[in-house]
Chain A
């Protein structure tokens, strides 16, 4: 089994790229791989508490929390990107973390594969 590190800059709402990356992470974990997930830029909002699920907007918090519970999925938000958006430490969903950008590069150090979704 391998380690996949995913980094994503895309919005929680307004782009399905984040949905793709979470579904990919879910499929990888189901197969027994471990996944490190890094949220930067607009993607940081995925780990913010209090998301309300509507059918017209992407809602990924529940899936993320189920993934965290597997013990094979670590999710970390870029602290500066989050703070810039008014998302503070106490707003973070249980099990998610916030660090500086070097966490992502450290994760890439021992990853077997890195998928960097740097657009949108």
Chain B
């Protein structure tokens, strides 16, 4: 199996303080990977690093033949300004950025694709509504429609199912499985261990340092989880320079 993404002794962080510390490993193409761990463990940071928003403090991320345009990213819903006056249709249509870019028009075929994507996530009829009028679940459906349009080889999801009802989670999971079936690489940051065990064959347990990475059942063993929980969340202002930084 070809690798989609590789990490070599990767350290990511803010202001020189590591949030992901010395991570090494590979994500094979077509993998369905869950990234789990306590709050502050560096899960979102890792996704930001993969997208290229955050530069590594140390080590390296190799994307092989996956270039930036092949990566679709779903930010945490809290990072989105839902009071902005924009319609569901326009929000979803932004998934075509790769094709339309700054000025490109949106043609009949594109409009058809947008309609299909909106239909697939079950939001038909919501197109003209302002995103501010959507519920949390509907908003997440709209963002999944945007992901569908992005048609990317690598899909990164940051807490895609946070505070959603079971019906919405089930519907969106179906899309995740469909992507998996289409041999796309999916990396999702998740908190619900039960859901991870049921739906994600591979898991990475992060607690700033990688605790375990592999088959989900083995990664999420009681022993590993305990280890992850012991991670101190402290962000020590006087922390010394990391010795194995080289």
Determine if chain A interacts with chain B.
no
